[in-house]
Amino acid sequence: MVFQKPNPFPTMSIYDNVVAGLKLTGVRANRDTKDDLVEECLVKSGLWNEVRDRLGQPGGALSGGQQQRLCIARSLAVRPRVLLMDEPCSALDPIATRRIEELMRELKQQYTIAVVTHNLQQAMRVADKTAFMYVDTTRGGRTGYLVEYDDTKTLFENPAQEYTRQYIRGEFS
């Protein structure tokens, strides 16, 4: 899982942040295997060229966008089948956001990625499929339900549900 706000372990080195998931999941690996895994995951997260000469430095010393890519590398190190990203760009500037979105497009070739976002433009840029979900709080509860699910292009250009159409057009009340 990749959270809204980058959350590397601040006092751990960049290297140790990447391999932290191995310890948490009980995977044992020798130093050579860890070294290869760190390089592989940092390459996949687009961070290797920026940090390869300073793997011993704290992960918390990186910029916000670099920290988020470090968290992505940490997630990849445990070899997930699904990567859940909860508003992964909400705390980032536009340049870092663009890099994370490029990374998502690259990674979706190898992983199933579920992205939670309130940013409609981001969903249009990165998603193959989109689900529009709604939580109804008008009846005293918090009942959530799926309004519509379709190919992203279809959902945004020709939604089947009026509620979806209103939300996309900004007419949502």
Same domain, 113 and 163: no
pLDDT digits (tens, 9 = 90+) for 131-158: 999 887 777 777 788 999 999 999 999 9
Domain count, the chain: 2
| Model confidence, pTM | 0.89
Integer-rounded Cα Rg, in Å, for the chain is 18
Same domain, yes or no: 99 and 141 = no
Within-domain flag for 87: yes
Cβ contacts of residue 145 below 8 Å, gap of 6+? Answer: 133, 134, 136
* Residue stretches of the chain with pLDDT short of 70: 173
Check residue 24 and give its pLDDT: 85
First vs last C-alpha separation in the chain = 31
Which of 118, 139, 162 terminates a domain? The answer is 118
Do 71 and 114 sit in the same domain of this protein?
Answer: yes
- Encode pLDDT of 75-86 as tens digits: 999 999 999 999
Question: CB 13: neighbour CB atoms within 10 A?
Answer: 17
Residues 109, 141: one domain? no
90, 147: one domain: no
Q: Choose one of 97, 118, 139: the last residue of a domain.
A: 118
Q: Is the domain of 111 the same as that of 140?
A: no
Task: Say which CATH number the domain at 27 has.
Answer: 3.40.50.300
